[in-house]
């Protein structure tokens, strides 16, 4: 039996609206600019409301909202134009930044000196499929299985993209920290 | 028949560190990896560095909240009240 309009509004307000900030943060990192992120967020929430009868009660509403967001982004917002410099995620070996800093700062305290804006700028430099994985994990707090469902890729792909995205991000932020004088570059 | 307890080397532990950080391992595998970390100072140091980095990214990347005017526009469009609970 379907919900009455009042019940639908109440359910959506209680279950979906609390994730508005998560939807907005993911939209920002996918779209890369705030005007598009505003439109993408609004469109996602309106589509989700219209499709609320398709949401399976008891499943992860955050993953459901982000599936709608991603679908909307890919079909209506993504541009093939370059977003500027992207990092080559293939060049990273295992834990290279740790190897660089293990003698001087093995706990990675220099990261704490880096401001939020610099971190999101570095995330934005990741190639899209790696950025998506990182954002769905570290901003939206989805599990590997949920990310796999949202992105329609195997869990193993999520695991490897997430690892490489984090290693690339570490390298970009480490290079930034060296340039900003937060840590001295060590010679390996 | 009793099975031998699973043993891993540094290479295998390294491959699973992010799964450990993300809470993605089964309790059995997690116990094996944690035992390896207790036994291997080098792997423990890498784990602590990676764990601190992941925590740092999660905090720094969640700084933005939905602009008030956008939130108001969405709620109005949906016919909802202006101040629902947020995360």
Cβ(A6)–Cβ(B37) under 8 Å?
Answer: no
Identify the residue among A22, A50, A95 best suited for mutation to test binding to B, counting B beta carbons within 10 A and taking the highest: A95
Task: Answer yes or no: is A186 within a domain.
Answer: no
- pLDDT > 90 in chain B, percent: 71
Q: Is A70 left (phi over 0), alpha (psi -120 to 50) or beta?
A: alpha
* pLDDT computed for residue A93 by the predictor: 61
Residues A156 and A96 reside in one and the same domain: yes
Last residue of a domain, one of A27, A56, A77: A77
Last residue of a domain, one of A77, A98, A124: A77
Task: Answer yes or no: is A83 within a domain.
Answer: no
* pLDDT computed for residue A124 by the predictor: 93
Interchain contact, A95 vs B50, CB within 8 Å: yes
Cβ(B78)–Cβ(A43) under 8 Å?
Answer: no
* pLDDT computed for residue A80 by the predictor: 47
Residue of A nearest to B78 (CA): A46
In A50-79, the residues whose Cβ lies within 8 Å of chain B are none
- The mean pLDDT value for A48-53 works out to 95
Interchain contact, A21 vs B65, CB within 8 Å: yes
Task: Answer yes or no: is A185 within a domain.
Answer: no
- pLDDT > 90 in chain A, percent: 63
Residues A156 and A93 reside in one and the same domain: yes
State yes or no: pLDDT of A174 exceeds 60: yes
Q: What is the CATH number of the domain that holds A171?
A: 1.10.10.10
CA distances from A163 to A27, A29, B41 (A): 22, 18, 22
* pLDDT computed for residue B83 by the predictor: 53
Cβ(A132)–Cβ(A151) under 8 Å?
Answer: yes
Residues A24 and A55 reside in one and the same domain: yes
Q: What is the CATH number of the domain that holds A46?
A: 1.10.1740.10
What's the burial of B4, exposed, middle or buried (CB within 10 Å: 0-12/13-18/19+)? exposed
* pLDDT computed for residue A4 by the predictor: 85
Q: How confident is the model at residue A106 (pLDDT cuts 50, 70, 90)?
A: confident
* pLDDT computed for residue A123 by the predictor: 95
- Provide the whole-model pTM: 0.88
Interchain contact, B77 vs A38, CB within 8 Å: no
Residues A26 and A67 reside in one and the same domain: yes
Put simply, whether A95 touches B (Cβ < 8 Å) is yes
State yes or no: pLDDT of A48 exceeds 60: yes
- Of A31-40, A78-87, A117-126, A178-187, the range with the lowest mean pLDDT is A78-87
Mean pLDDT of chain B: 88
State yes or no: pLDDT of A77 exceeds 90: no
- ipTM of this complex prediction, to 2 decimal places: 0.86
Task: Answer yes or no: is A140 within a domain.
Answer: yes
Taking the C-alpha atoms of residue A177 and residue A171, their distance in angstroms, rounded to an integer, is 10
Residues A47 and A93 reside in one and the same domain: no
Domain residues for the domain of A165 are 89-179
Residues A121 and A42 reside in one and the same domain: no
- The mean pLDDT value for A114-138 works out to 93
CB neighbours of residue B10 within 10 Å: 12
DSSP state of B25: S
Residues A73 and A100 reside in one and the same domain: no
- The mean pLDDT value for A87-108 works out to 80
Residues A63 and A128 reside in one and the same domain: no
In B25-44, the residues whose Cβ lies within 8 Å of chain A are none
Residues A56 and A126 reside in one and the same domain: no
Q: What size, in residues, is chain B?
A: 87
Task: Answer yes or no: is A166 within a domain.
Answer: yes
Higher local confidence (pLDDT), A25 or B8 = A25
Task: Answer yes or no: is A116 within a domain.
Answer: yes
Put simply, whether B58 touches A (Cβ < 8 Å) is yes
Residues A69 and A29 reside in one and the same domain: yes
Put simply, whether B52 touches A (Cβ < 8 Å) is yes
Residues A127 and A153 reside in one and the same domain: yes
Residues A70 and A111 reside in one and the same domain: no
Domain count, chain A: 2
Last residue of a domain, one of A77, A103, A130: A77
Contacts of B57 in chain A (CB under 8 A): 119, 134, 138, 166, 169
State yes or no: pLDDT of A137 exceeds 60: yes
Contacts of B79 in chain A (CB under 8 A): 9
Residue of B nearest to A28 (CA): B64
């Amino acid at each position: 039996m379907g919900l009455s309009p009042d019940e639908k509004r109440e359910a959506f307000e209680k279950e979906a609206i609390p994730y508005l900030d998560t939807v907005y943060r993911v939209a920002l990192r996918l779209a890369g600019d705030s005007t598009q992120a505003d439109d993408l967020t609004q469109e996602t929430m309106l589509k989700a409301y219209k499709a609320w009868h398709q949401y399976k009660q008891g499943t992860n509403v955050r993953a459901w909202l982000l599936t709608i967001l991603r679908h909307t982004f890919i079909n209506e917002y993504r541009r093939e134009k370059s977003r500027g410099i992207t990092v080559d995620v293939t060049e990273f070996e295992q834990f290279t930044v740790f190897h660089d800093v293990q003698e001087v700062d093995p706990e990675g305290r220099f990261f704490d000196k880096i401001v939020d804006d610099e971190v999101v700028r570095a995330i934005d430099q990741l190639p899209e499929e790696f950025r998506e994985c990182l954002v769905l994990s570290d901003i939206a707090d989805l599990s590997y299985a949920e990310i796999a469902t949202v992105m329609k890729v195997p869990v193993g792909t999520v695991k490897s993209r997430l690892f490489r995205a984090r290693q690339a991000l570490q390298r970009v932020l480490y290079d930034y920290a060296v340039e900003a004088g937060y840590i001295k570059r060590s010679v390996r | 028949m009793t099975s031998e307890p699973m043993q891993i080397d540094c290479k295998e532990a390294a491959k699973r560190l992010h799964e450990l950080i993300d809470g993605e391992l089964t309790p059995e595998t997690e116990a094996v990896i944690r035992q390896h970390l207790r036994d291997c100072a080098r792997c423990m140091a890498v784990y602590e560095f990676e764990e601190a980095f992941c925590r740092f990214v999660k905090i720094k990347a969640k700084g933005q909240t939905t602009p008030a005017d956008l939130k108001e526009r969405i709620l109005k469009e949906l016919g909802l009240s202006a101040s629902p609970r947020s995360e």
